[in-house]
């Protein structure tokens, strides 16, 4: 028996060493690869996907989660500030939903602790979907196929807003983007990045960008003041974290945005005032680090940032259950 165990033990030891080696290599980097979610409730995901795409959760019947967090477009709307009910101008740039499960909190000011707490916000926000939780639940309860699906997933007699937000949040948990060229490089594929891109990553680290943009999401895990060295002249009235904490010291402090898929999530900053990556890198260098990057440095950092684009969520467009004869009809012009 000992002779039969020996090769296995050797193999295990090798695997262990290999694994330890990889962990060491990764932990020496301030950015870690995106890992797909490891515990997902598929029934919740499928229900949440439908809700995410259902404009009947808005007063107008026209705006869904996907309108402003468009999964064809990096989980954003690529507009400086979003369009709400009756074409209202939103106060802030719609952050990407991609990898948002990795955020320390949700919204730019972190006023929601997690995705579940976030999901109910826009539905009832008069400037966004302009509905109410009560009306949304009435709509869902009037649609037999939704009633059955909620019952299948939650096994409760009535649909409540907790179920709605739990389903949307579970779907959003799946919206991660692994397998970027940067992650492939982190995981050992050394030719996954060009020399310029690697030089850009070194600059990103040595210049101090990585002080805030770190972790698997390359951001999203802390709040920082916008305009540390030089003030930022925002086009938006948003005051940031102080709106949540009530503390003056948190004024103009925002959640550091993830840089995952940043190539797709333009325009940039909480007011969406900057259109391109070269401009964004320039502004960040000067305002946050007191550093003016040369044209070459800027180009290298931008080249690195573009290696952070991962596999986009890939799924069938959901087909929504039709309204019933008693489902209240939206009137977007009232």
Q: For residues 152 and 176, give the distance between their C-alpha atoms in angstroms, rounded to a whole number.
A: 26
User: Which residue of 91, 121, 178, 318 would you call a contact of a copy of itself, by CB under 8 A?
Assistant: 318
Point out which span in 136-144, 207-215, 258-266, 281-289 binds a copy of itself (CB under 8 A): 258-266
The DSSP bridge pattern shows strands 88-89 and 223-225 to be unpaired
User: Which residue of 41, 73, 91, 151 would you call a contact of a copy of itself, by CB under 8 A?
Assistant: 73
Residue number, 55 or 240, with CB nearest to a copy of itself: 55
In eight-state DSSP terms, residue 108 is: T
Task: Say if residues 64 and 52 touch (Cβ distance below 8 Å).
Answer: yes
Report if residue 174 touches a copy of itself, rule: CB under 8 A: no
Report if residue 323 touches a copy of itself, rule: CB under 8 A: yes
Tokens representing residue 5 in the block? 């165990």
Report if residue 325 touches a copy of itself, rule: CB under 8 A: yes
Residue number, 240 or 272, with CB nearest to a copy of itself: 272
The nearest distance, CB 329 to a copy of itself, in angstroms, is 5
Apex 260 CA angle, 63 and 302, nearest 5: 115
Report if residue 125 touches a copy of itself, rule: CB under 8 A: no
Residue number, 74 or 240, with CB nearest to a copy of itself: 74
Q: For residues 312 and 264, give the distance between their C-alpha atoms in angstroms, rounded to a whole number.
A: 10
* CB atoms near residue 88 (< 10 Å): 15
Task: Please report, as residue ranges, which positions from 142 to 171 form the binding site for a copy of itself (by CB under 8 A).
Answer: none
Is 222 buried (19+), middle (13-18) or exposed (0-12) by CB count in 10 A? middle
Task: Say if residues 223 and 255 touch (Cβ distance below 8 Å).
Answer: yes
Report if residue 235 touches a copy of itself, rule: CB under 8 A: no
Task: Say if residues 259 and 305 touch (Cβ distance below 8 Å).
Answer: yes
Report if residue 257 touches a copy of itself, rule: CB under 8 A: no
Is 141 assigned a catalytic role? no
The contact pattern for a copy of itself, residues 236-255, with x = CB under 8 A and - = no contact, is --------------------
Report if residue 79 touches a copy of itself, rule: CB under 8 A: yes
Structure-token match 């684009």, residue found:
309
User: Which residue of 87, 191, 206, 233 would you call a contact of a copy of itself, by CB under 8 A?
Assistant: 87
The nearest distance, CB 168 to a copy of itself, in angstroms, is 15
The nearest distance, CB 59 to a copy of itself, in angstroms, is 12
Q: For residues 200 and 296, give the distance between their C-alpha atoms in angstroms, rounded to a whole number.
A: 10
The nearest distance, CB 27 to a copy of itself, in angstroms, is 32
Task: Please report, as residue ranges, which positions from 272 to 311 form the binding site for a copy of itself (by CB under 8 A).
Answer: 275-278
Residue number, 80 or 159, with CB nearest to a copy of itself: 80
Which among 199, 184, 178, 189 is positioned nearest to 301, based on CA atoms?
Answer: 199
Which among 47, 48, 86 is positioned nearest to 69, based on CA atoms?
Answer: 48
* CB atoms near residue 236 (< 10 Å): 18
Report if residue 264 touches a copy of itself, rule: CB under 8 A: yes
The nearest distance, CB 243 to a copy of itself, in angstroms, is 23
Point out which span in 37-45, 101-109, 238-246, 260-268 binds a copy of itself (CB under 8 A): 260-268
Report if residue 122 touches a copy of itself, rule: CB under 8 A: no
CA distances from 123 to 54, 94, 204, 305, 311 (A): 11, 14, 38, 33, 28
Q: For residues 151 and 35, give the distance between their C-alpha atoms in angstroms, rounded to a whole number.
A: 31
Q: Which residues are at the interface with a copy of itself (CB under 8 A)?
A: 53-56, 60-62, 67, 70-74, 77-80, 83, 86-87, 89, 263-264, 266-267, 275-278, 312-320, 322-323, 325, 329-333
Q: Which residues are tagged catalytic?
A: 128
């Amino acid at each position: 028996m000992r002779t039969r165990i020996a090769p296995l033990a050797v193999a295990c030891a090798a695997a262990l060493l290999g694994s330890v080696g990889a962990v060491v290599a990764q932990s020496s980097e301030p950015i870690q690869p995106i890992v797909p979610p490891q515990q997902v409730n598929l029934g919740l995901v499928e229900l949440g996907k439908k809700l995410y795409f259902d404009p009947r959760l808005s007063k107008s019947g026209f705006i869904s989660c996907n309108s402003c967090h468009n999964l064809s477009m990096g989980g954003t709307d690529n507009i400086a500030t979003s369009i709400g009910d009756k074409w209202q101008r939103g106060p802030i740039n719609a952050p990407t939903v991609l990898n948002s499960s990795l955020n320390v909190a949700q919204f730019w000011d972190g006023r929601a602790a997690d995705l579940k707490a976030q999901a109910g916000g826009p539905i009832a926000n008069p400037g966004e979907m302009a509905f109410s939780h009560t009306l949304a639940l009435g709509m869902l309860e009037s649609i037999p196929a939704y009633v059955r699906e909620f019952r299948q997933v939650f096994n409760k007699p009535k649909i409540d807003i907790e179920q709605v937000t739990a389903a949307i949040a579970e779907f959003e948990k799946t919206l991660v983007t692994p397998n970027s060229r940067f992650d492939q490089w982190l995981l050992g594929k050394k030719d996954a990045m060009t020399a310029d891109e690697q030089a850009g990553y070194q600059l990103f680290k040595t210049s101090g960008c990585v002080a805030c943009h770190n972790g698997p999401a390359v951001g999203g895990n802390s709040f920082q003041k916008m305009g540390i060295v030089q003030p930022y002249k925002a086009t938006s009235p948003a005051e940031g974290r102080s709106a949540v904490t009530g503390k003056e010291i948190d004024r103009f402090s925002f959640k550091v945005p993830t840089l995952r898929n940043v190539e797709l999530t333009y325009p940039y900053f909480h007011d969406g005032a900057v259109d391109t990556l070269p401009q964004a890198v320039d502004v960040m260098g000067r305002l946050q680090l007191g550093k003016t990057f040369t044209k070459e440095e800027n180009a290298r950092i931008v080249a690195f940032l573009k290696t952070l684009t991962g596999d986009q969520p890939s799924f069938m467009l959901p087909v929504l259950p039709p309204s019933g004869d008693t489902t209240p009809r939206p009137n977007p012009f009232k």
